[in-house]
Structure 1
Amino acid sequence: MTTIRFIHTADLHLDSPFKGMTGLPSARLNELRESTFTAFNRLIDYAVETSPDFLLIVGDIYDGEDRSLRAQRKFQEGMEKLHEAHIPVYITYGNHDHLSGNWTRFELPPNVHEFSEEVEEVPLTVRGMDVVLHGFSYPTRHVREEMISKYPPATDPHSFHIGLLHGSLAGNETHAVYSPFTIGELQSKHYDYWALGHIHLRQHLSEDPPIVYPGNIQGRHRNESGEKGFYEVELSKTDAVLSFVPTSAVQFGRIQIPCVDIRHANEWLAVCEEALLSFATEHGPSVVDVEILNLDDETAAFFAQTAEDVWLEAIREVMEGHEPFVWVQELTVTNPSHRQESNSLMEAVLGQVDSWSENEWKQVLGDVYQHVRTARYLEPLKEEDIQELRHEVEKLLLNELPTVLEVNR
């Protein structure tokens, strides 16, 4: 069976600042800030080693429209390596790296094709087989209107047709909605593969044809947990084989540690150390949230004698110096005696919070962003900021609701 083989990646977010990583030792913080570049280098090295027919990058190469010089230089160097290996690269720019941003440009080598702001068809030949790529780049940050109607349907059944689209599934508001589409609209184009970008969660929306988000290549905060990477795709006219290739340099995760019949601090530290080392052995360098649960009454009373931030500092000290490193970003102790009682109230509050649109979040935070003295120091509200705020709301509810319920008994 005649096939083509290519790499599908998106959402590189090179030079992400990793905001909110308070307390992380400087050496570890630097390792984390380098992680997007490390993941990118793994992508480039894999491509050079395996020689795909071409590589697709579907938006958000950079973390912001003011692309840093360092990020552009690193990207340009990666493209040069692919040029030397005779690997063509096709790029669409998304909402984070749109064409109207302010930056000092680096010239990319001739193996790189950058899609324009209009939906265009790019033909290429792979070992005698005709391939047509369809895509566009964002002219500005906010492309709210649907663009799928501008993609032409495939009319030649003998050519491979691949769509590149940085956008959102219509009705899914877990991310900012850009260039919305429905699965049916993509399927109606009769393409052989849809290479998507924008959503950082790896997922397949359809198998026939494959409609695929590869996710980002490096998690940037607790809401982007798990292994990250890209897809290597082997495509024929009747089948597609997708192989996930991991690239994460640092993995975000969450660990739940049961603690029963613990009466001494050293017992608890030993249990946590074992669980964290096991996680690091499996996943490599990690930033994790730890939830302590299944406490019996005596163990819960034991934990209550010391503030959670003191317990957190203690486990951080125990884990210091271990390789691969594990940084505990947050510690939560869940008391089961209050959990069931507070669940319904917490779910009601979080349900209301989750229903807020981006504009409603801005209204809620209006006093902060409109304050004369503080507004100038604040960056524009981003989607990841909203997710972090939502997490803080949940954390506050977990910590405070049991106390409120106890007072009102």
Structure 2
Amino acid sequence: MFKFLHTADIHLDSPLLNLDKYDDAPREEFRSATRRAFDNIVDLAMRETVDLVIIAGDLDDGDCTDFHTPRYIRRQMQRLESHRIRVFIIQGNHDAANNMKKAFRLEMPDNVKLFSTSKPETERLEEIGVAIHGQGFSKREVTEDLSQSYPDALPNYINIGILHSSCGVHDQHDTYAPSTVKGLSSKGYDYWALGHIHKHQTLSGPNPWIVYSGNPQGRSVRETGARGCVIATYDGERILTKRHETDVMRWIHVTVDVSDCSDALSIQPMIHSQLSTELSKAGDRPLAARIELVGETGSHSELVRQADYWDAQIRESVLDQFDEQVWIEKIKFQTRPPRVALRESDSALGELIAGIERPEIAAAAFEELRSDFEKMLSTIPTDPRLAREEIDITRDEVCETMKSDARDLLLTRLLNSGGDA
């Protein structure tokens, strides 16, 4: 029997994204988050008495401006060595060999193996019958499938492959060292320890296990929810896996339906309630929250007209309620005016809304809108960050979104002007 811990994408000492934009962000506490998450990994490895720690790339976020990070890494490796835990590391796209002048240059203790970046290497651990295969990145832009050069499984060993790779399709990550489940499975290994994709995923298992450990600490609002690592145990017959949480603060995206709120003040208790639930789910870790207010509500006009005021009010109320346990990254006001209630009201505005929603009038208005939009598109360059399908007005879903947004904008302006068009 033996156990190993699989982690990747630690990005040590990297800043959490967008904190510098906000004066009220708890920078000091959040800045140390990746390092404290790695402390948790080392503590977990010692507590669980694992035999091996596998780091599948991007231990570092890039080269260091000084030796503080490398010295910290060496201290953690020495802690693991004191518990007779061996460490196997490959480099990924962020800590590729040609990008590192200082990191990995300090001499590491004897328990650490840094795999070659020029060819696959195999380490045999005869005492536990394990063969570990790995190769790191020699440069950031690796476009070939490195796994194709890995050797086939060694007979009479438990074979573990370490790879930093885009296995399959992942929208939020650049493609590096692309591989496939079929190709990895063909090597005959028992476990593939993958890095690069920051979300924990099991692509195959148990024959073989192909696992992304995910990153141990979320670094932006795109990386919400629990983050951690994987401990795998070989019981003499099979490998069993278990995920462990290691993050020290957590990013969340909270959607609050305020349809039943008649005024903006009544929204705040709803936000507090959902944040309390999220804090409990996070084990009382500090939260960085993006709040999105949605729903058709009578408070829509007030929220839109005084968005800056209500943004500040909500932030202040959250600070009063939760102190520094919750920090608001952004508040998005995505509410809509209460169309049905307004349309059915006995008023001039209700009659106007009913009129513009008549199919023949709506269709004519939209054709004019479509024509104006086409003219506008022809005069401005397309933002390369914007997916073409999002502005393709030949698609029905795009047209429906435009109609709905235009109608809501008109209603909001009518409400704000007291019904005077």
TM-score if structure 1 supplies the norm length?
0.79
Give the structure 2 partner of residue 59 of structure 1. 57
Question: 1:37 and 2:35 equivalent?
Answer: yes
TM-fit CA distance, 1:227: 0.5
TM-fit CA distance, 1:323: 5.2
TM-fit CA distance, 1:270: 2.0
Structure 2: distance between partners of 1:257 and 1:173 = 26
Question: C-alpha deviations, 1:75-131, integer Å up to 9, x for none?
Answer: 111111111111110100111111112432322111101001110111113xx4311
User: Gapped runs of 5+ residues in structure 2?
Assistant: 340-356, 358-365, 367-381, 392-397, 412-421
TM-fit CA distance, 1:184: 0.7
Q: Does structure 2 conserve the Cα–Cα contact (< 8 Å) formed by 1:170 and 1:177?
A: no
TM-fit CA distance, 1:136: 0.7
Question: 1:94 and 2:95 equivalent?
Answer: no
Identity %: 30
The one-letter code matched in structure 1 to 2:240 is V
Secondary structure of the structure 2 residue equivalent to 1:56: strand
The one-letter code matched in structure 1 to 2:152 is P
Give the structure 2 partner of residue 195 of structure 1. 193
The one-letter code matched in structure 1 to 2:144 is E
The one-letter code matched in structure 2 to 1:270 is P
Question: C-alpha deviations, 1:322-354, integer Å up to 9, x for none?
Answer: 256111111122234699x9xxx9xxxxxxxxx
The one-letter code matched in structure 2 to 1:53 is D
Give the structure 2 partner of residue 154 of structure 1. 153
TM-fit CA distance, 1:201: 0.9
Question: C-alpha deviations, 1:166-216, integer Å up to 9, x for none?
Answer: 011255454211111111111111111000000001000001211000000
Give the structure 2 partner of residue 301 of structure 1. 301
Secondary structure of the structure 1 residue equivalent to 2:296: coil
Structure 2: distance between partners of 1:200 and 1:29 = 22
Aligned residues: 353
Give the structure 2 partner of residue 137 of structure 1. 136
Query: Aligned-pair RMSD on alpha carbons?
Result: 2.9
Alignment of 1:98-137 (within 5 A): 98-104=96-102, 105-117=105-117, 118-125=119-126, 128-137=127-136
Give the structure 1 partner of residue 16 of structure 2. 18
Give the structure 2 partner of residue 351 of structure 1. none
Q: Does structure 2 conserve the Cα–Cα contact (< 8 Å) formed by 1:165 and 1:196?
A: yes
Q: Does structure 1 conserve the Cα–Cα contact (< 8 Å) formed by 2:296 and 2:337?
A: no
Change in CA separation of 1:408 and 1:271 when aligned onto 2, cut-off 3 Å: closer
Structure 2: distance between partners of 1:400 and 1:217 = 40
Q: Does structure 2 conserve the Cα–Cα contact (< 8 Å) formed by 1:316 and 1:328?
A: yes
Change in CA separation of 1:63 and 1:155 when aligned onto 2, cut-off 3 Å: closer
Question: C-alpha deviations, 1:266-296, integer Å up to 9, x for none?
Answer: 3222221222222123212111111112233
TM-score if structure 2 supplies the norm length?
0.77
Q: Does structure 2 conserve the Cα–Cα contact (< 8 Å) formed by 1:258 and 1:292?
A: yes
Give the structure 1 partner of residue 374 of structure 2. none
Question: 1:327 and 2:327 equivalent?
Answer: yes
Structure 2: distance between partners of 1:402 and 1:108 = 60
Structure 1: distance between partners of 2:99 and 2:49 = 32
The one-letter code matched in structure 2 to 1:276 is L
Secondary structure of the structure 1 residue equivalent to 2:129: strand
Alignment of 1:237-256 (within 5 A): 238-256=237-255
Structure 2: distance between partners of 1:206 and 1:333 = 40
Give the structure 1 partner of residue 291 of structure 2. 290
Structure 2: distance between partners of 1:185 and 1:74 = 37
Change in CA separation of 1:401 and 1:255 when aligned onto 2, cut-off 3 Å: farther
TM-fit CA distance, 1:155: 4.0
Larger Rg: 2
